[in-house]
């Protein structure tokens, strides 16, 4: 009913400049009690998964860029999302690129953006985070986050950090952001893949990447000794096989906690209208779907599934999410899909995903992750053979950490 209404109103919404429409959506999200429509965070025993010691009620998250200022976190959970990644936040406020800087292509269900990390800086972001979190320490919060013993879903909170445009020493920006925000996030994403900040993507090269992450991981060990903070890296889809192999090597060597695949692409497929394709910036939505799924599959194979992946790019349906999970993603995120399918997309994808998992005979998501790379999809004995573990019961799976990632077990012990 609500979805039909959204589809009817969409042409009107699309008459409004995309950035202005985004502002209106944020305003409406604050106003409309979506929780009454969705019942809050969607969940089911099949959809629950524990990653990095955090309980995710479902694997569908809101991607970075939507809630740049961490202003509507609670409202995102009301839409049914299992987690939200706020940001990208930079240390200093900055205005970003001149407007207009977001463009839609409804025929291809795509968006091009060249935002350039506009935002009010880390102080306001932190104030908003604190407002959402209330006055609780991180250790208290972690133990009460995810699915509580009363079965109440609370949602997992990621924070995505990036460097200011005028920064000449990127490591310094990331270290400051880690210090400011590490204590408030369930996980931190190092964004080195947005195409709209000059020089940012160069940090994906082997040595700069190693240097940046080594500094971050050392600082984490110093600053947050007792509270393990998972560090994830968000990568671009525009990497060739050699570059991806090099990055996988570095990330495996440093035992990074996870990767997000992928950010927007600089590609311009032939199907796009010439006027839209001529806009500078990163392309997202349907035309990115295949490319990001392929990258997930490659990365999963390169790392033998040992680094958890959050899959993002062109997800609009439960089937899209399922394909990313089978390719190797443990969790998924959505941005552009919400623009085209409406605010209840997370709830709908969770419902559909639950059905799809069931129809394939998967007891839970854990069994589906990376199943494309195993000979017999969904066969428990195959999972057994691969990981050398007994299959878990549905109920156990919600409490257990995935068997495929040694670090995850460590993290669970430290945090849990």
**Where in the sequence numbering do the catalytic residues fall?**
194
Q: From CA 53, how far away is CA 410, in angstroms rounded? A: 9
* Shortest distance, position 361 Cβ to ligand FMN, whole Å: 28
312 binds ligand FMN (CB under 6 A): yes
**Binding-site member from 160, 392, 398, 407 for ligand FMN (CB under 6 A):** 160
Q: Rank residues 108 and 284 by Cβ distance to ligand FMN and give the closer one.
A: 284
DSSP letter at 43 equals -
Nearest to 79 by CA among 35, 145, 31: 35
Q: Given the rule CB under 6 A, which of 42-50, 112-120, 369-377, 408-416 is the region that contacts ligand FMN?
A: 112-120
Mask of contacts with ligand FMN, 65-84, x by CB under 6 A? x--x----------------
Tokens of 143: 């133990």
Mask of contacts with ligand FMN, 49-68, x by CB under 6 A? --------------xxx--x
Q: Given the rule CB under 6 A, which of 2-10, 334-342, 369-377, 379-387 is the region that contacts ligand FMN?
A: 334-342
Contact 35, 74 (CB under 8 A): no
Please list every residue from 335 through 374 that binds ligand FMN, using CB under 6 A. 335-337
Mask of contacts with ligand FMN, 270-309, x by CB under 6 A? --------------xx--x---------------------
- Residues with Cβ within 8 Å of 343's Cβ and at least 6 positions away in sequence, in order, are 2, 6, 25, 29, 34, 79
Radius of gyration for the chain, computed over Cα atoms and rounded to the nearest angstrom = 20
Q: Given the rule CB under 6 A, which of 107-115, 180-188, 201-209, 365-373 is the region that contacts ligand FMN?
A: 107-115
**Binding-site member from 47, 51, 307, 315 for ligand FMN (CB under 6 A):** 315
Q: Which DSSP helix (H) or strand (E) runs through 159? A: strand 156-161
Q: Rank residues 147 and 190 by Cβ distance to ligand FMN and give the closer one.
A: 190
Contact 159, 86 (CB under 8 A): yes
Q: How many residues bind ligand FMN (CB under 6 A)?
A: 27
Tell the residue number behind the tokens 């795509």, with chain if given.
110
* Shortest distance, position 313 Cβ to ligand FMN, whole Å: 4
Q: Which DSSP helix (H) or strand (E) runs through 85? A: strand 83-89
Question: To 10 degrees, what angle do helices 206-223 and 170-181 make?
Answer: 30
Q: From CA 415, how far away is CA 161, in angstroms rounded? A: 22
Contact 234, 193 (CB under 8 A): yes
- The residue ranges that bind ligand FMN (CB under 6 A) are 63-65, 68, 88, 102, 111, 113, 115, 117, 160, 191, 194, 234, 263-264, 284-285, 288, 312-315, 334-337
């Amino acid at each position: 009913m609500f979805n039909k209404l959204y589809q009817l109103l969409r042409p009107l919404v699309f008459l409004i400049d995309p950035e202005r429409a985004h502002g209106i959506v944020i305003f409406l999200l604050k106003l409309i009690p979506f929780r009454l429509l969705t019942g809050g965070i969607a969940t089911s025993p099949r959809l629950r998964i524990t990653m990095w010691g955090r309980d995710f009620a479902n694997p569908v998250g809101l991607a970075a860029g939507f809630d740049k200022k961490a202003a509507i976190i609670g409202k995102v959970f009301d839409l049914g999302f299992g987690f939200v990644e706020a940001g990208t936040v930079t240390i200093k406020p900055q205005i970003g690129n001149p407007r207009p800087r977001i463009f839609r292509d409804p025929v291809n269900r795509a968006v091009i953006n060249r935002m350039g990390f506009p935002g009010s800086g880390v102080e306001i972001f932190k104030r908003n985070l604190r407002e959402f979190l209330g006055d609780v320490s991180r250790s208290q919060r972690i133990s009460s986050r995810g699915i509580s013993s009363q079965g109440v879903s609370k949602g997992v909170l990621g924070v995505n950090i990036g460097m200011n445009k005028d920064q000449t020493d990127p490591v310094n920006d990331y270290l400051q952001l880690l210090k400011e925000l590490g204590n408030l996030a369930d996980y931190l994403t190092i964004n080195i893949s947005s195409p709209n900040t000059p020089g940012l993507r160069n940090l994906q090269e082997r040595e700069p990447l190693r240097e940046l992450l080594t500094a971050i991981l050392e600082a984490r060990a110093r600053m947050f000794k007792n509270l393990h903070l998972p560090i994830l890296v968000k990568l671009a889809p525009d990497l060739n096989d050699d570059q991806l192999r090099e990055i996988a090597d570095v990330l495996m060597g440093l035992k990074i906690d996870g990767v997000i695949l992928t950010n927007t692409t600089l590609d311009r497929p032939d199907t796009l209208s010439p006027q839209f394709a001529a806009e500078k910036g990163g392309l997202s939505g349907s035309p990115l779907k295949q490319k990001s799924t392929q990258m997930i599959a490659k990365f999963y194979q390169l790392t033998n599934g040992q680094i958890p992946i959050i899959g993002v790019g062109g997800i609009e349906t439960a089937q899209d999410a399922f394909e990313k999970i089978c390719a190797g993603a443990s969790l998924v995120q959505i941005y552009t899909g919400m623009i085209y399918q409406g605010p209840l997309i997370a709830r709908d994808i969770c419902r559909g995903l639950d059905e799809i998992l069931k129809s394939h005979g998967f007891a839970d998501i854990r069994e589906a992750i990376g199943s494309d790379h195993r000979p017999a999809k969904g066969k428990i004995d195959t999972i057994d053979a691969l990981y050398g573990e007994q299959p878990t019961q549905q109920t156990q799976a919600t409490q257990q950490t995935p068997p495929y990632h040694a670090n995850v077990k460590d993290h669970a012990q430290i945090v849990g």
